[in-house]
Amino acid sequence: MTDVAAVKAALKTQAIETPSWAYGNSGTRFKVFTQPGVPRSPREKLDDAAKVHEFTGAAPTVALHIPWDRVDDYAALARYAEERGLRLGAINSNTFQDDDYRLGSVCHPDAAVRRKAVAHLLECVDIMDATGSRDLKLWFADGTNYPGQDDIRARQDRLAEALATVHERLGDDQRMLLEYKFFEPAFYATDVPDWGTAYAHCLKLGDKARVVVDTGHHAPGTNIEFIVATLLREGKLGGFDFNSRFYADDDLMVGAADPFQLFRIMYEVVRGGGFTPDVAFMLDQCHNIEAKIPAIIRSVMNVQEATAKALLVDRAALASAQAAGDVLAANAVLMDAYDTDVRPLLAELREEQGLDGDPVAAYHRSGWAAKTAGERVGGAQAGWGA
């Protein structure tokens, strides 16, 4: 038997970070579809994020991406967020959109380009100081397209050197989260292609370096929950970039393509003691054809639903079935939790918090979409696409 009150209490502590870029116009390399009412500035992105938090009560922080969210005064931006009941979350660096980075950034063969990339990463830490952000999220587009193009080992050495410089600069309460991705934009060899490479670097760097698991960054069929279990066991799981994929790095709404996978991941988080603020639950998504704010609300709800199911797993029953070697009983315990309709429990929980049980409906009733469509002309692009 699981204690439903304890499950609810745990769910009330869950915070899901939304990414500033999810609020802007986005698309593929074929077309960016613009939408009415899309934010024109980082402040307007925060206004939208405040709506997601207002209706879910579960999205109190917003990740920034530099330079997409470049402002003159980051402390002022942090105050603006606070006035709306938000805090600024992870700072995401960008070492992939300058011409200089054609052959890479921190792994580039030219030391001058590497210095430029490291200077950007250090600037991101300065921004964290101003915003009060804990995490620096690093994703490198570095890699090679052709065998022989560059020395794979030398590139690892350059990466290690850059990461060490950044790690050294971090304050006592700051962390760096290293993201891996198995391909794209490089197609022959990616410099941080998998959790093992990210883990090896983080292990050498020290305690402030952790691995971040972007759920869209794996080959089809990869057992992501195994990676999660392993990283948690080693104390090296920094957090998640949640999204879902049918093919590759699709950045679709988390829990849309494979809610069962999301449940399995969340179960390993709960099982491994990762349901703490040490593990950041972040979204890394873009909403190309669907309305953005309701899609982000939906995504937050999808994470909550998967978490609720993971918390509902009868772990005592599971452990005894496992100890008895009862394969079918053990599987049934897990499936019982997954098959539970947790929507009434979550609606009840929201009502206990003074929220509407149905955040998407409440958002639609709020009139925010019509208001912003009338007021905002010429919404900003998220940073992706043509």
Q: Which residues bind ligand LRH (CB under 6 A)?
A: 65, 92, 139, 179, 181, 214, 241, 249, 284
Q: Which residue lies nearer to Mn ion by CB, 150 or 241?
A: 241
Strand, coil or helix: what is 280? strand
What is the nearest approach in angstroms of ligand LRH to the Cβ of residue 175?
15
| Residue 180, contacted partner among ligand LRH, Mn ion, none, CB below 5-8 A by kind | none
150 binds Mn ion (CB under 5 A): no
What is the nearest approach in angstroms of Mn ion to the Cβ of residue 242?
9
Encoded amino acid at 164, one letter: A
Q: Which residue lies nearer to ligand LRH by CB, 214 or 268?
A: 214
Rounded to 10 degrees, the C-alpha dihedral 95/247/186/155 comes to 80
* 152: its two tokens: 């794979």
69 binds Mn ion (CB under 5 A): no
Q: At what angle do helices 327-338 and 292-312 cross, to 10 degrees?
A: 140
Q: Which residue lies nearer to ligand LRH by CB, 181 or 218?
A: 181
| Residue 69, contacted partner among Mn ion, ligand LRH, none, CB below 5-8 A by kind | none
| Residue 92, contacted partner among ligand LRH, Mn ion, none, CB below 5-8 A by kind | ligand LRH
DSSP 8-state code for residue 20: G
What is the nearest approach in angstroms of Mn ion to the Cβ of residue 231?
16
Number of residue whose CB is nearest ligand LRH: 139
What is the nearest approach in angstroms of ligand LRH to the Cβ of residue 225?
19
Cα(34)–Cα(206) distance, rounded to whole angstroms?
43
β-pair type (280-283, 237-242): parallel
Number of residue whose CB is nearest Mn ion: 241
Q: How far is CA 268 from the centre of its chain?
A: 17
Cα(100)–Cα(247) distance, rounded to whole angstroms?
30
Q: Which residue lies nearer to Mn ion by CB, 135 or 241?
A: 241
| Residue 105, contacted partner among ligand LRH, Mn ion, none, CB below 5-8 A by kind | none
214 binds Mn ion (CB under 5 A): yes
Check: CB of residue 68 under 8 Å from CB of residue 383.
yes
Check: CB of residue 182 under 8 Å from CB of residue 217.
yes
* 158: its two tokens: 């350059």
Q: Which residue lies nearer to ligand LRH by CB, 54 or 284?
A: 284
* 200: its two tokens: 């090896």
* 255-284 residues near Mn ion, rule: CB under 5 A: 284
Q: Which distant-in-sequence residues (6+ apart) come within 8 Å of 274 by Cβ?
A: 228, 232, 237, 268
Span of 101-109, 122-130, 244-252, 359-367 interacting with Mn ion by CB under 5 A: 244-252
| Residue 135, contacted partner among ligand LRH, Mn ion, none, CB below 5-8 A by kind | none
Is the C-alpha dihedral spanning 154, 157, 161, 163 positive or negative? positive
Q: Which residues pair with 184 in a beta bridge?
A: none
Encoded amino acid at 89, one letter: G
What is the nearest approach in angstroms of ligand LRH to the Cβ of residue 104?
15
Radius of gyration of the chain from its Cα atoms, rounded to whole angstroms: 21
Q: Which residue lies nearer to Mn ion by CB, 100 or 249?
A: 249
Q: Which residue lies nearer to ligand LRH by CB, 123 or 249?
A: 249
Cα(282)–Cα(242) distance, rounded to whole angstroms?
6
Encoded amino acid at 43, one letter: R
Let me know the angle formed at the C-alpha of 158 by 152 and 162, rounded to the nearest 5 degrees.
145
Q: Which residue lies nearer to Mn ion by CB, 7 or 280?
A: 280
| Residue 134, contacted partner among Mn ion, ligand LRH, none, CB below 5-8 A by kind | none
191 binds Mn ion (CB under 5 A): no
Q: Which residue lies nearer to ligand LRH by CB, 92 or 302?
A: 92
250 binds Mn ion (CB under 5 A): no
**Binding residues for Mn ion (CB under 5 A):** 214, 241, 249, 284
